């Protein structure tokens, strides 16, 4: 399997972490693209032009990080990152969706904030920052119950937080959300996160 990623996408990082956590990191051929290469290469595989996108050995394309991560987990013979059944499965997928949604809000705040002042919409920033804060508050309450070792939900949350720190959109967030921040400091020590740091 070939997986197209960029070096700082939180969604691409999810796939990297999932592959490393399941021992499959070396089985994937990682294609790290620049933004320009992404614009050139990715639309032929994913019409939305987004990474991550994966091409399987048989040639079929998988897109969207939840799909690619679920595929990686399907190849995994060890403990699953996504439980195969029961309420745990839906809890993990729901936490993954919350992590992904937090990432979307963070990206929206960062992109809007980078626009020249006369083109920037404070209403957009406030709306997305509100979602970000609500997501962080909900996660801070749940952090004490997070799975250890992490499953797919925790991986998505940590990748979103990693991007939030990388773009510095919520300086000092750890003071407001101490449980989440303490948990995040620990998960960053895992090899899978060290190997996939945004750059």
Sites of contact with ligand GSH (CB under 6 A) = 9, 11, 49-52, 64-65, 100
**Contact present, 157 and 139 (Cβ < 8 Å):** yes
Q: How far is the CB of 57 from ligand GSH (least distance, A)?
A: 21
Q: How far is the CB of 11 from ligand GSH (least distance, A)?
A: 4
Gap between the Cα atoms of 19 and 78, Å rounded: 12
**Contact present, 14 and 159 (Cβ < 8 Å):** yes
Q: How far is the CB of 51 from ligand GSH (least distance, A)?
A: 4
Q: How far is the CB of 15 from ligand GSH (least distance, A)?
A: 8
Of all helices (H) and strands (E), which one includes residue 17? helix 10-21
What is the number of alpha carbons within 13 Å of residue 46 lying toward its C-beta?
19
SS3 138: helix
Structure tokens at 30: 């990682």
Q: How far is the CB of 179 from ligand GSH (least distance, A)?
A: 26
Nearer CB in complex with ligand GSH: 30/179: 30
- Contact partners, residue 187, CB within 8 Å, separation at least 6: 150, 154, 158, 193
Nearer CB in complex with ligand GSH: 21/100: 100
Q: How far is CA 100 from the centre of its chain?
A: 6
**Contact present, 5 and 31 (Cβ < 8 Å):** yes
Nearer CB in complex with ligand GSH: 87/199: 199
Nearer CB in complex with ligand GSH: 20/50: 50
Q: How far is the CB of 13 from ligand GSH (least distance, A)?
A: 9
Work out the widest C-alpha separation in the chain, in whole angstroms: 53
Nearer CB in complex with ligand GSH: 114/189: 114
Nearer CB in complex with ligand GSH: 91/111: 111
Gap between the Cα atoms of 31 and 53, Å rounded: 10
């Amino acid at each position: 399997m070939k997986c197209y990623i960029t070096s700082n996408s939180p969604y691409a990082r999810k796939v990297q972490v999932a592959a490393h956590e399941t021992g499959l990191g070396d089985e994937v051929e990682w294609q790290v693209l620049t933004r320009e290469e992404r614009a050139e290469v990715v639309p032929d595989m994913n019409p939305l032009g987004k990474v991550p996108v994966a091409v399987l050995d048989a040639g079929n394309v998988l897109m969207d990080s939840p799909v690619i991560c679920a595929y990686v987990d399907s190849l995994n013979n060890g403990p699953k990152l996504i439980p195969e059944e029961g309420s745990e499965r839906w809890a993990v997928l729901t936490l993954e969706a919350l992590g992904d949604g937090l990432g979307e809000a963070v990206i929206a705040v960062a992109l809007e904030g980078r626009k020249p002042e006369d083109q920037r919409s404070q209403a957009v920033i406030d709306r997305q920052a509100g979602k970000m804060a609500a997501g962080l508050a909900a996660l801070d309450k749940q952090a004490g119950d997070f799975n250890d070792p992490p499953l797919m939900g925790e991986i998505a949350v940590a990748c979103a937080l990693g991007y939030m720190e990388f773009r510095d959109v919520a300086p000092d967030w750890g003071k407001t959300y101490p449980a989440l921040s303490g948990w995040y400091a620990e998960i960053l020590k895992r090899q899978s996160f060290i190997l996939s740091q945004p750059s």
